[in-house]
Every structure is written in structure tokens, then in C-alpha cells.
Amino acid sequence: MARHIIHTQRLELNYAKEELARADQNRWGEIYEKELLPVMEEVFDRYEQNGFHLRLDRLDLNLGSIPPSLDLDILKSRLKNQLEDQLAVSLDKKLKGKDFEKRSQDSNDTSSPSDEESHSTWELFIHLLRYGIRPWWSSTTKKPSLKTVLQDLIEGESPKLIEFLEQKKFSSQEWNRLIQVLDFQKTYDLLSLRSPHFSINARRLYSACRKLLVNNWLTKDQLEELLIEFFMMDLKPFSEKSEEEIRKFSAAIFRPDLETNSDFFIHLMAWLLSKKTPEMTAPKIREVGKELLTKSRTYGFYRSWSSTGERRESLLKKFTEAYLQYSKQKVKEKPKRLDTPKPQDDEVFIVSNAGLVILGPFLKHFFSNLGYLEDKNFKDQSSQERAALLLQNLVDPNAEYAEEDLLLNKILCGIPIHQAIPIKASFSDAEKEESIALLESVAHHWEALKTTSGSAMAKGFFPREGSIRIIDSGFKLQVNRLSFDILIDRLPWAISIIKLPWMDETLITEW
């Protein structure tokens, strides 16, 4: 039997009297599980045999009037016929739909399972890129992430991915989210699909930048991080006024006739240095520019530095102006809602860190001690995002996470659930010490734990499966209860309703 996913099941029966409905409630639950569900699985299996992955957003079946004396075999026959009719219509629409326009016009032609799998992978990629949350129909065991799905598409040289890159139709959220999951090699592989000229130009630039900048002004990791942003800038759907010049040079690396002339070199070096050393004085800028221009001639990167003194002075002036242009510091803004997709009311999301709600009453003091807050709200977007990652660090002390695992963290930190956030963080000793103090404080106040340490408490209760549903007042979290969760009933503080000062939505918890 194939694996079928039903997001939400509703069995609606109308009774003339409430007492009759209550009396029959358990009986119908048993009938559904033992009699009706097997019929549905049988029909689903038959349609799966054609190699199709048929996904329906909604399916309503009306089985008509059901008298008390109705034979169950008749009821099952009604269900089977209704379901087959509905699936036949849906399948016919899919065969004629736009996803199949390029396939054979023969009405008997069907796609192979590998074609369907490829199509499903692409749909999953688009969903993860757009929303940052796993769809209900994705695998609950493999837990796909944008990073892993993108790698599959790159390795398969997906035509859809290449077309997507060519169209350059990213939203700002999608571009930010994609940047977060790229490392240098993956960026190289991805953009090489877009243009064969990129691979040659990118290698040349990387080699030159390493010789000129690494060990003097940037680390290798810093250089690669900045080059990822530079290489991807041509796909960026928005840009600051100060980025217009460097964006022009980013587009040039996809062309066969890339010329690393003085303007290209000066702007690239100035931009790279301004991102990591944005506060150099004018004399220091000039000193660095002179050293870079001299070294560039030694390495053969470009040779204009050997021209007249007047020409050299002009180049230094250009470098200084470019550096000052790119190093203009933005004022850190208060967290604000960005234009993110709106979640659907009936969406249900699975989380694996549901136990973090135990910390609810402690978070205001915790974030305040870390200097993240100002007037009871996060002082800037960076602090808000850092708070979400630090919460995950209490569950899993890694340096990088999948955004798809940070849904509850976003809710607790007041971040819109579809807003892209960083997935990498390196925490200071002070942040780590404050985290340990938080866990010990929670364990100490939870008297039912007796001598349990803070870290043991976190390991036992934080990594817990749960589901989050959107409700009128915000979100509802239902946590899968285990045998020793009787201790949750002895929490000396409430977690059933959490609404912290920075949260626009209320979180209701059932544990």
C-alpha cells in the first residue's frame, strides 16, 4: 500500500437531537477508522498505481441520508463511488493542466514516477523558498529543508531551476532566504547552471581576492560569504542606491567578455572591505588602497597602477570614494513586518521543539539580560532574529539550523512565520552563560524536577513533537504527551496562554 497523506479529516453528521448525536459520537469514530478509512485507502492505492502524485486542496463527499438501519456495506459503496468519481475528475484536470502541456497529447500517455518525483521536488523547493515552512504534504520522516532540496535540483541540473534563475523573479523574502542556505561551493554550482561563463570568471575573481585580501583584511570564510552576496546580487529584486554600481559589476561576471578594468577592481575591493571594516579613517583608506593597487600589479590582476603619478592619484581617489559610498552605515531599524505571504487559516505545521513553551514566562527577563530589548520590545531586527536562534541553541547547540525548524521560535519572538531569517549564529561567552543560567533557573523553580539539572531538563522536555494551527487569536500549539509529562501538570507557572510584549499574536498551548 502506498503512503497517502490527509491533512485534515472532518466527518460531519447532522442529527435532529443533540442527545442522539452525543450518543453516536464514539460509534461513528469507530466506523470511520475500521470501515470507511480502508475503503479510502483502497481507492487511493488504485490511483497511485498510475505513477501520479495527485494532491487536492479540498475534497468534499456527500454520502446522503443515513438511516439507523442502513447496512454498512451500502455506506461503504456510496463512499467508494463518490471518491472514485471525484478523483477521476481531478485526475482528468491534471492531465489537461498546464503542468502536462509539454507531454504527449495522447490521452493514454502518463508520466513516469521519476517525472512526477522531479515535479514534486520542484514544488517543494518553491514552497520552502516562498514560505520557509514545510508543506503538510512533505515527508515527516526525511524533514526536507530548502538546503537539501536545492542540492537535489542542482545535482539534477533541473531545467526548471535554470529557467527560474534566468527569469530573476525572486521576491525580497525569497532572495534573502536563498542567500541564507548557500555556501560558496553551492553558489558556484548554482550559478554555473545559469551561465557557463560564470564558472571561469568566478574562479578568476576568487583566486585574485584570496591573494589580495585573505590574511590581511579578511578571513577566507568572510571572503567567501561576501562573494556569495556579490555573485547573487544580479538576481536581487531590490537594491539600495549605494549598491547600484556594484550590482552592475555583479551582472558582468555572467558575460564572456568580463574585463577586470580599474573601475571593476576598485569597486569590488572597496565593497568587500567596507562590509567587514566599515570605519576606516581617510588616511587609512588611502593607505589600504595604495597597498591593494600595488599588490594587484604584482599578481597581474590589472596593470594600470604602473601608469603616471596623476593616474595613480586618480585611482586612489576613486577607491576612497567607492569605499565611503559602500561603508555608509544604516541606522538599525526597529523590527517591522515585511511583506510576507499570509498563512491559510486551516494550515497545520509540525514542530519538533514544542517544549520551548516552558520558557515562556522567563523570556522577557532572559532577553533583557542579554541586551536584546529596549522598552520591552526588541531593539532592532538583528536582536530579534538572534533571539530566535538562541532559543534553538537551547534545544540543539549547533552553529547552523534549518529555517523550517524555527517556526515556534519565530512565534515566541514575534517574527512573522513566513519571514526569512538567518540560520547561522555564533554566540558569545556571555550569551552562553546567560543561557545556562536560564535553564538552571527554570529547573530550580520547577520543584517537581527535584535535583534535575537545567541541561537535563532541556534535553528531556524541549525536543518534543507538536502541531501548530492558526486560530482567530493567533496560534494553537498541541504537544504530543509522553508518560512522564505528568510533571508538566506540576509546573508552577502557566504556559497555556503566552502573549509577550513583542508578540502580535497569542500562543495557546495544549500539553
pLDDT tens digits for 270-302?
999 999 887 888 889 999 988 888 887 776 655
For helices 244-252 and 262-276, give the axis angle rounded to 10 degrees: 120
Pull the grid cell for residue 238.
531590490
Q: Which pLDDT belongs to residue 88?
A: 81
**Residue-by-residue DSSP string for 22-37:** HHHHHHHHHHIIIIIH
Beta bridge partners of 477: 468, 509
Band the pLDDT of 259: cuts 50, 70, 90.
low
Q: Where are the domains of the chain?
A: 18-97, 121-328, 348-509
Residue 340 sits at the vertex; the CA angle it makes with 338 and 341, to the nearest 5 degrees, is 165
Q: Which pLDDT belongs to residue 4?
A: 73
**Residue-by-residue DSSP string for 325-363:** HHTPPPPPPPP-----PPPPTT-EEEES-GGGGGGGGGH
Q: Which pLDDT belongs to residue 107?
A: 39
Mean pLDDT, to the nearest integer, of 191-206? 92
Band the pLDDT of 241: cuts 50, 70, 90.
confident
103, pLDDT greater than 50: no
How is the beta sheet containing 474-479 ordered, strand by strand?
348-351, 466-471, 474-479, 506-510, 497-498
Helix (H) or strand (E) holding 497: strand 497-498
Average pLDDT score over the chain: 85
Q: Which pLDDT belongs to residue 169?
A: 83
d(CA 83, CA 90): 11
429, pLDDT greater than 50: yes
**Residue-by-residue DSSP string for 107-147:** TT----HHHHHHHHHHHHHHHHHHHSS--TTS-TTT---HH
Mean pLDDT, to the nearest integer, of 21-37? 85
pTM, rounded to two decimals: 0.78
More confident residue, 193 or 259: 193
Band the pLDDT of 129: cuts 50, 70, 90.
very high
Band the pLDDT of 106: cuts 50, 70, 90.
very low
Q: Which pLDDT belongs to residue 227?
A: 97
Q: To the nearest whole percent, how much of the chain has pLDDT over 90? A: 48
209, pLDDT greater than 80: yes
**Residue-by-residue DSSP string for 59-85:** ---------TT--HHHHHHHHHHHHHH
Mean pLDDT, to the nearest integer, of 17-44? 86
Q: What is the dihedral of CA 233, 239, 243, 244, to 10 degrees?
A: 90
In 381-422, which ranges are continuous DSSP H helix?
A: 381-395, 407-412
Mean pLDDT, to the nearest integer, of 304-325? 78
Beta bridge partners of 424: 400
Band the pLDDT of 109: cuts 50, 70, 90.
very low
Q: Which pLDDT belongs to residue 60?
A: 84
Band the pLDDT of 494: cuts 50, 70, 90.
very high
430, pLDDT greater than 90: yes
Q: Which pLDDT belongs to residue 15?
A: 87
Pull the grid cell for residue 201.
570568471
| CA distances (Å), origin 196, targets 236, 253, 374 | 20, 10, 49
Band the pLDDT of 334: cuts 50, 70, 90.
low
Band the pLDDT of 112: cuts 50, 70, 90.
very low
145, pLDDT greater than 80: yes
325, pLDDT greater than 70: yes
Looking at 103-112, 248-257, 363-372, which range is the least confident one? 103-112
Band the pLDDT of 66: cuts 50, 70, 90.
confident
Q: Which pLDDT belongs to residue 300?
A: 61
Mean pLDDT, to the nearest integer, of 343-360? 86
Local structure of residue 424 (DSSP, 8 states): B
d(CA 86, CA 133): 29
Q: Which pLDDT belongs to residue 421?
A: 96
| 356 Rama class: left (phi>0) / alpha (psi -120 to 50) / beta | alpha
Mean pLDDT, to the nearest integer, of 441-462? 94
Amino acid identity, residue 289?
G
Of the candidates 354, 352, 347, the one whose C-alpha atom is nearest the C-alpha of residue 469 is 347
Q: Which pLDDT belongs to residue 19?
A: 84
Looking at 45-59, 423-437, 474-488, which range is the least confident one? 45-59
Beta bridge partners of 467: 350, 478
Looking at 103-107, 139-143, 240-244, 479-483, which range is the least confident one? 103-107
